């Protein structure tokens, strides 16, 4: 993929790139719609990437089909004080799967422009860039996971202090992302509205935020104790809370989640990411993953944990 980004650079602009970088997408195991409330989240970087090759140019240019486009590059450049670049990108992060291809684009850009940057600083710069470029007041989770996730681990992040610790993730559990087929741009969803409602303390929204943060704590403990049944139960409760209290699910997503729950080998499943369509996370015993993908009745991506762009 790296050499493909370089080839694309040469085709688009002629000459050789000056820098190369890549950053992973992410899943979120649990802790949804709590990052911007200063809550706890448990994402993981996964082995699907955006690859970049770039060099200084006269204006910001991006040769790619990756989401976000030049606006995102330019917004990261503005945060880091970098001049315009010509960039080519390739990726194996399926668009619309809710695996944060835009965060990966931002973080890869930061890694290409300033590889020595502190990972936390990079995540914060990329969060501001995404907010500025999209108008969506996203939290820091996606950028943080893409920057600082580690292979073999999930990352327990306290979004109020940005302290984090790595939590081992079992090698024989597969992370399956299921596509609901419902495409949406975050800027067209009530994401900002939900955030305002949570900040204003609306009772249902508050109940979700408080209960979800508690579930992150319990899930982390269950993962550490290898209590898979408890992990599954908490995913189920998280989904119910996102559906009923935070109201970010859709009937189509609910139907897929219920089908996933009923499929052999599935430890648990829930809507993942911002919601309003998008994707579903399922944790599946490795030995059952092929059968699961065949039976769940919607497109799936099976992934493993990976290193973030700034993980050292
Ligand atoms: C999107 C945002 C994140 C987070 C999730 C919901 O992915 O980019 O910051 O708020 O939604 O948990």
Give the model confidence (pLDDT) of 52-109 as tens digits: 999 999 999 999 876 668 999 999 999 999 999 999 999 999 877 889 999 999 999 9
Mark residue 281 as left, alpha or beta (left: phi above 0; alpha: psi -120 to 50; beta: remaining). beta
CATH of domain 2-168: 3.30.230.10
Write out residues in the chain with pLDDT < 50, as ranges: none
> Within a 10 A sphere around the Cβ of 4, how many other Cβ atoms?
15
Query: What atom of ligand 1 comes closest to residue 191's alpha carbon?
Result: 11
φ and ψ at residue 263, rounded to 5 degrees: -90, 130
The finding on whether 271 has its CB within 6 A of some atom of ligand 1 is: no
Provide the pLDDT for residue 64.
87
What angle in degrees, to the nearest 10, is found between the helix axes of 101-113 and 141-148? Answer: 50
Given a contact cutoff of 8 angstroms between Cβ atoms, the answer to whether 28 and 281 are in contact is: yes
Cβ pair 128, 79 in contact under 8 A:
yes
Q: Is 237 in the pocket of ligand 1 (CB under 6 A)?
A: no
Residue 68: what pLDDT?
A: 62
Among the four given CATH numbers 3.40.50.10210, 3.30.70.890, 3.90.180.10, 3.40.1280.10, the one describing domain 173-303: 3.30.70.890
Which residues are identified as catalytic?
142
Domain ranges across the chain: 2-168, 173-303
pLDDT value of residue 97: 82
Q: What ligand 1 atom has the least distance to the C-alpha of 36?
A: 10
Is residue 52 helix, strand or coil? strand
pTM over 0.95: yes
User: HSE-up of 111 (CA within 13 Å, CB side)?
Assistant: 27
What per-residue confidence (pLDDT) applies to 185? Answer: 85
Nearest Cα residue to atom 1 of ligand 1: 274
CA of 189 to the centre of ligand 1 (A): 12
């Amino acid at each position: 993929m790296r050499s493909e980004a370089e080839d694309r650079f040469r085709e688009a602009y002629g000459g050789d790139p000056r820098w190369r970088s890549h950053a992973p997408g992410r899943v979120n195991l649990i802790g949804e719609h709590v990052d911007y409330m200063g809550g706890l989240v448990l994402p993981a970087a996964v082995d699907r990437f955006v690859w970049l090759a770039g060099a200084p140019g006269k204006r910001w240019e991006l040769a790619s089909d990756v989401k976000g486009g030049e606006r995102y590059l330019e917004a990261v450049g503005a945060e880091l004080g970098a001049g315009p670049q010509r960039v080519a990108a390739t990726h194996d992060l399926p668009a619309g799967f809710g695996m944060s291809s835009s965060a990966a684009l931002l973080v890869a850009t930061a890694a290409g422009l300033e590889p020595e940057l502190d990972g936390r600083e990079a995540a914060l710069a990329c969060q501001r860039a995404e907010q500025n470029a999209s108008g969506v007041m996203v939290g820091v989770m996606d950028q943080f996971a893409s920057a600082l996730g580690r292979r073999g681990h999930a990352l327990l992040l306290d979004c109020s202090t940005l302290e984090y610790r790595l939590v081992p993730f079992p090698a024989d559990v597969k992370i399956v992302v299921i596509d609901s087929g419902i495409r949406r741009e975050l800027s067209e969803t009530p994401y900002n509205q939900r955030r305002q409602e949570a900040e204003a303390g609306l009772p249902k929204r508050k109940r979700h935020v408080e209960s979800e943060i508690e579930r992150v704590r319990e899930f982390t403990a269950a993962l550490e104790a290898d209590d898979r049944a408890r992990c599954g139960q908490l995913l189920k409760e998280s989904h119910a809370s996102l559906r009923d209290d935070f109201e970010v699910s859709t009937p189509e997503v609910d139907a897929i989640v219920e089908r996933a729950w009923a499929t052999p080998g599935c430890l648990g499943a829930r809507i993942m990411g911002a919601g309003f369509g998008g994707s579903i996370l399922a944790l599946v015993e490795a030995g059952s993953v092929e059968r699961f993908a065949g039976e769940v009745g919607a497109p799936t991506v099976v992934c493993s944990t990976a290193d973030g762009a700034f993980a050292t």
